[in-house]
Chain A
Amino acid sequence: MIELITQHPFAAALLALVSLGLVFGALLGFASVKFKTEGDPIADQVEALLPQTQCGQCGYPGCRPYAEAIANGDDINKCPPGGEATIAALADLLGVEAKPLDAAEEAVPSVAYIREDECIGCTKCIQACPVDAILGAAKHMHTVIASECTGCDLCVEPCPVDCIEMRPIETTLQTWHWDKPQPTEDLIASDRRGNSPIEAA
């Protein structure tokens, strides 16, 4: 063996490298079969961050399709119900720059409300609801299961008598919480010498 190496150093090196290559190649090939991931793990992670309102305001029919689109490189700022918090979380996950929300304003959490005496029982809102949160039958009054409503407002448009409105979720004693203090300008000692805080910053 040693004789072979000393006599044919080039051939020996070649042999060693080729055999190494084959061994690792086989290892990699085996690993790629053995540890194959089903589905798109990035899309799953993205989906976990989306608010699941299924409102379609991003232009995709639901949160899953948008998650897949983001995984394939779409912008992360198209989700008004998620707002800045979701954008920040997505930017963190994907390692991209957080962009301002691609909408006029963040969606206020709201819940659909059917004015029941005006409802004609057409079932159009029931068909529109992505989470089956509207209860009713043909020619019978419908009502919203408020606890299941995601506030996507997809039911508002199909209503032929405009009896559905979106009402912001009211704060109750149970949901009330302390507000964060108004972020004051961070004053430092030099601010006192006539410099406005903004210029100093």
Chain B
Amino acid sequence: MRKIWDIHGGIHPPENKTQSLQDNIRAAGIPAQLIVPLSQHIGAPAAPIVNVGDRVLKGQMIGEAKGFVSAPVHAPSSGTVAAIEPRVIPHPSGMSAPCVVINCDGKDEWISHQGISDYRSLDKNTLVDTIRNAGIAGMGGAGFPSSVKLSGGKDKPIETLILNGTECEPYITADDILMQERAAEIIAGAEILRHIVEPNETLIGVEDNKPEALAAMRAAAEGTGIEVVSFPTKYPSGGEKQLIQILTGKEVPSGGLPADIGIVCQNIGSARAIYRAVCHGEPLISRVTTVTGEACSTPRNYDVLIGTPVQYLLDLSHFDASRCIRLIMGGPMMGYTLQDTAVPIVKTSNCVLAPTVEELPPPPPAQACIRCGMCAEACPVSLLPQQMYWFSRAQEHDKLEEHNLADCIECGACSYVCPSNIPLVQYYRASKAEIRQAQQDKIKAERSKERFEARQARIEREAAEKEAKRKARLEAAKAKQQSATKDGSKDDIIQAAIARSKAKKSGGADNPPQDPAQAAIARAQAARSGDAVSETAEEKTARLEKQLASTEKRLAAAQQKLQLAIDNNDDNVEAFRSGVEKTEGKLQALRKELDAHRASQAPAPAESVSDDPAAAAIARAQAKRAGGAETESPDAARERLTTQIASTEKRLDAAQQKHADAQAQGDVNAAAFATAVEKTQAKLDKLRAELAALPAAEPEPAAEASNADDPAAQAIARALAARNANAELSEADKARNAVSSLEKRIAKTQQKLDQAQADGDDNAAILSDTLAKLQGKLDEARQALDALSQEEG
């Protein structure tokens, strides 16, 4: 005789098992419609693999497992898929979940299937896969996929395999009758499990209130080495962890699994389903379910197809709805009320209980806890239900966790013994959910915080980048201005201006766009000053040529119009004609002027190089100054210089030739030509030097570019530089600088504000705020400046 351990606490409620044991298991038959939920197990719901309208055969897979902890579902009978839609499922919430609805054709036509004759020759993984594909999930109540239990715990050898035939809840006899009638199948299933798990010992635990089942099991297990252990009846010995403790004396650690202590536990119903799956190739499509309670006149056990509506079973048992107080799925201790009789039987449905009022009266109102401590005595997990009750009421989740609420198996023994009828289990269930919710909220809060901080960081970074860019622009503009005022000697500007004008003449459209604009400004300035001398000879030629060309075009257009008008006998012919004449006159005048200009230029070509350009350059320099700080990128500068060099080279050649000619002819101007050649040569040298200097200046902008991805660092560097520069200034200077910069900022902000107001922008308010703040700062700065200048004065 094997040693039996005892568990703490436990209760002995009225068993009420005999009612449903009067008769054998009866096949429930095929209902008109089967509702097969896609999630009948713990884990991810199965994914439907059939479509509405498809014909399915009995045993055909209709939903495939999604993920490791999941199980497939199969068609329990042949028929047509009528719908794949949410239907009310057996769940305490009474909510709906996706189901495959099959209209049965009554033929009950099997899909071709074949069992494995010699499973012992097969690999364990293949067997586990077979079990997984058969959709077997724990049939005791929780519905944990059996294959997961069997494939896990490879790191630790399994010492003991336990089959759970305890069935401790009152009323339920599904396992009892299964053991009585199909003991051989259960033992065969146990053999398969032994082959997979390879335990040292295999135990089948059965309470001593099932003598017939015990006898049948012992007979079937004869000579197999499987030990059928009987032990005193007590609720809740059927809990997995409780049964392990009773049979082995070992306790599953808090938060652990039986595999952690080398034990695998399976329900006897699951063992039988495994036998059917392995040896007959039949997936889990039916189960034994007890229909009992006094509201049913013929309580009994049925072999039910999964998906059969509860109403169908109740009809078979002659259910009297008027006598039933509430319909319970499961037992009276751990079951839940069904709101709807259309819900289907699923893989975990072991009992449908239809009690009368006398049988299971509604709980009387709860009274105050009198701290009698009976709940603590009844608790099979040795918790302190009374303490947890108070903590649950006060929402003290930390304390609940400290009191190991998570280990509560929700058996209901505490509520059962409570003299004050406090629904203790409900408190624990709710608190467990609250704690889980709080944990999820915490995770979500963490993520929200991360996202919020990431966003803040991004906004700051963008602002810093913008600021850095703005600073860079400002810096560049300042540098440009300084270089313009420092080494922008008149001579240089003159040379540059001449070169540009030359380049423009030769290059045409290739010229940088700012050049024509500058030239235009210069011209305008020149025109304003009314000084004819300020126009260079070349420019004049160019202008005249341009005018000539455009006038010619206009003339052509006018002539065409005139011709058209004549052809159409238009009234405006006269007007057109006079227009053409006028244009012709203008054209002639222009030609004359151009000729005269060319003639005037011819005698003194050297002067045109040296004297006239000076005047033009003055004009251009003025124009440039008026045009403000104009930044020039190094590339543009290089391009400009190259064109300048090219044109200067050309001019040098021309001048040299002229000089040679003059010398050959013994011209009086030969000396002048010589100086011109010299000057041009010098200029060319200078330009080349400038060009050579450019790449040397390059590294700075390059470095800047490489720094571009770290604008913040750049900004910091610049700020440091600014601070260093400031340190050299006197207090008063600093104040002055501050005032001027503030004034600038105010002006800018004012402009922006005007713009924003004009556009009706949302930012107007912010801008006006900013303006007010700046004004305040300016006032402060001015006061500081006044104070300082008084000190100095």
Write the residues of chain A forming the contact surface with B, with a CB cutoff of 8 angstroms: 47, 50-54, 62-63, 85, 88, 130-133, 148, 150, 171-173, 175-181, 183-184, 186-188
Nearest chain A CB to B458 CB, angstrom units: 8
Given contacts A173-B95, A178-B92, contact A184 B365 (CB under 8 A): yes
Contacts of A131 in B (CB 8 A): 448, 451-452, 455
Question: At the interface with chain A, which of B64-72, B190-198, B421-429, B618-626?
Answer: B421-429
Contacts of A171 in B (CB 8 A): 93, 95
Nearest chain A CB to B433 CB, angstrom units: 3
* A-B contacts besides A52-B449, A62-B452, A130-B452, 17 pairs, CB < 8 Å: A47-B449, A51-B441, A51-B445, A52-B445, A54-B448, A130-B455, A132-B451, A132-B454, A148-B447, A173-B93, A173-B95, A178-B430, A178-B433, A180-B426, A180-B427, A181-B427, A187-B365
- Check B430 against A133 for contact (C-beta < 8 Å): no
Task: A175 to B436: give the CA distance in the assembly, Å.
Answer: 10
Partner of B451, one of A63, A148, A172: A148
Enumerate B387-438 residues with CB–CB distance to A below 8 Å.
392-393, 395, 423, 426-427, 429-434, 436-438
Contacts of B95 in A (CB 8 A): 171-173, 176
- Chain A to chain B contacts (Cβ below 8 Å), 8 pairs: A131-B452, A148-B447, A148-B451, A171-B95, A178-B430, A179-B430, A187-B365, A188-B368
Contacts of A85 in B (CB 8 A): 395, 438
- Check B454 against A52 for contact (C-beta < 8 Å): no
User: Is residue B83 within 8 Å, beta carbon to beta carbon, of the partner chain?
Assistant: no
Task: A88 to B430: give the CA distance in the assembly, Å.
Answer: 19
Task: A148 to B367: give the CA distance in the assembly, Å.
Answer: 44
Partner of A184, one of B366, B431, B437, B441: B366
Nearest chain A CB to B447 CB, angstrom units: 7
- Check B430 against A180 for contact (C-beta < 8 Å): yes
Task: A63 to B88: give the CA distance in the assembly, Å.
Answer: 41
Closest to A84 in B: B395
Write the residues of chain B forming the contact surface with A, with a CB cutoff of 8 angstroms: 39, 89, 91-93, 95, 97, 365-369, 392-393, 395, 423, 426-427, 429-434, 436-438, 441, 444-449, 451-452, 454-455
Contacts of A187 in B (CB 8 A): 365-368
- Check A88 against B395 for contact (C-beta < 8 Å): yes
- Check B429 against A132 for contact (C-beta < 8 Å): no
Task: A21 to B201: give the CA distance in the assembly, Å.
Answer: 73
Closest to A197 in B: B368
Task: A130 to B441: give the CA distance in the assembly, Å.
Answer: 17
Contacts of A148 in B (CB 8 A): 447-448, 451
Nearest chain B CB to A16 CB, angstrom units: 48
- Check A132 against B455 for contact (C-beta < 8 Å): yes
Closest to B45 in A: A173
Partner of A186, one of B368, B392, B436: B368
Contacts of A132 in B (CB 8 A): 451, 454-455
- Check B93 against A176 for contact (C-beta < 8 Å): yes
Contacts of A175 in B (CB 8 A): 437
Contacts of A179 in B (CB 8 A): 426, 430
Closest to B393 in A: A183
**Pairs of residues from A and B, 8 with the lowest C-beta to C-beta distance, nearest first:** A177-B433, A52-B445, A186-B368, A178-B429, A180-B430, A131-B451, A176-B93, A52-B448
Main secondary structure of the interface of B (DSSP, over half): helix
Partner of B436, one of A47, A63, A177: A177
- Check A63 against B449 for contact (C-beta < 8 Å): yes
Task: A47 to B445: give the CA distance in the assembly, Å.
Answer: 10
Contacts of A176 in B (CB 8 A): 91-93, 95
Contacts of B446 in A (CB 8 A): 52
| Most chain A CB neighbours (cut-off 10 Å) among B97, B437, B441, B451 | B451
Task: A186 to B390: give the CA distance in the assembly, Å.
Answer: 13
Partner of B430, one of A54, A150, A177: A177
Given contacts A176-B93, A177-B436, contact A133 B451 (CB under 8 A): yes
Nearest chain B CB to A117 CB, angstrom units: 25
Task: A53 to B452: give the CA distance in the assembly, Å.
Answer: 9
Task: A131 to B436: give the CA distance in the assembly, Å.
Answer: 24
| Most chain B CB neighbours (cut-off 10 Å) among A51, A54, A150, A178 | A178
Contacts of A181 in B (CB 8 A): 366, 423, 426-427, 430
Nearest chain B CB to A64 CB, angstrom units: 8
- Check A178 against B448 for contact (C-beta < 8 Å): no
- Check A186 against B367 for contact (C-beta < 8 Å): yes
Contacts of B434 in A (CB 8 A): 177
Task: A32 to B742: give the CA distance in the assembly, Å.
Answer: 43
Contacts of A130 in B (CB 8 A): 452, 455
Nearest chain B CB to A153 CB, angstrom units: 14
Contacts of B368 in A (CB 8 A): 186-188
Contacts of A184 in B (CB 8 A): 365-366
Task: A54 to B445: give the CA distance in the assembly, Å.
Answer: 10
Nearest chain B CB to A90 CB, angstrom units: 14
| Most chain B CB neighbours (cut-off 10 Å) among A63, A88, A177, A183 | A177
Closest to A85 in B: B395
Contacts of B449 in A (CB 8 A): 47, 52, 63
Partner of B448, one of A150, A173, A180, A186: A150
Task: A184 to B455: give the CA distance in the assembly, Å.
Answer: 47
Partner of B392, one of A51, A173, A180: A180
Task: A33 to B451: give the CA distance in the assembly, Å.
Answer: 34
Closest to A172 in B: B95
Task: A173 to B95: give the CA distance in the assembly, Å.
Answer: 7
Contacts of B369 in A (CB 8 A): 186
Nearest chain A CB to B338 CB, angstrom units: 15
Closest to B363 in A: A181
Given contacts A52-B445, A53-B448, A178-B433, contact A173 B91 (CB under 8 A): yes
Task: A183 to B365: give the CA distance in the assembly, Å.
Answer: 10
Closest to A47 in B: B449
Nearest chain B CB to A163 CB, angstrom units: 19
Nearest chain B CB to A197 CB, angstrom units: 10
Contacts of A62 in B (CB 8 A): 452
Given contacts A52-B446, A148-B447, A184-B365, contact A177 B452 (CB under 8 A): no
Nearest chain A CB to B445 CB, angstrom units: 4
Nearest chain B CB to A50 CB, angstrom units: 8
Nearest chain B CB to A55 CB, angstrom units: 10
- Check B92 against A52 for contact (C-beta < 8 Å): no
Task: A28 to B92: give the CA distance in the assembly, Å.
Answer: 62
Contacts of B367 in A (CB 8 A): 186-188
Closest to B92 in A: A178
Task: A188 to B447: give the CA distance in the assembly, Å.
Answer: 47
Contacts of A133 in B (CB 8 A): 451
Nearest chain B CB to A145 CB, angstrom units: 10
Task: A195 to B451: give the CA distance in the assembly, Å.
Answer: 57
Contacts of B441 in A (CB 8 A): 51
Nearest chain A CB to B435 CB, angstrom units: 10
Contacts of A150 in B (CB 8 A): 444, 448
Closest to A189 in B: B367
Nearest chain B CB to A103 CB, angstrom units: 19
Closest to A184 in B: B366
Contacts of B432 in A (CB 8 A): 177
Nearest chain A CB to B449 CB, angstrom units: 5
Nearest chain A CB to B70 CB, angstrom units: 14
Task: A186 to B434: give the CA distance in the assembly, Å.
Answer: 23
Nearest chain A CB to B404 CB, angstrom units: 19
| Most chain B CB neighbours (cut-off 10 Å) among A88, A171, A173, A179 | A173
Task: A43 to B466: give the CA distance in the assembly, Å.
Answer: 32
Task: A130 to B431: give the CA distance in the assembly, Å.
Answer: 32
Contacts of B436 in A (CB 8 A): 177
| Most chain A CB neighbours (cut-off 10 Å) among B365, B433, B444, B449 | B449
Task: A186 to B429: give the CA distance in the assembly, Å.
Answer: 21
Nearest chain B CB to A183 CB, angstrom units: 7
Contacts of A47 in B (CB 8 A): 449
Closest to B447 in A: A148
Nearest chain A CB to B448 CB, angstrom units: 4
- Check B452 against A54 for contact (C-beta < 8 Å): yes
Closest to B446 in A: A52
Task: A52 to B454: give the CA distance in the assembly, Å.
Answer: 13
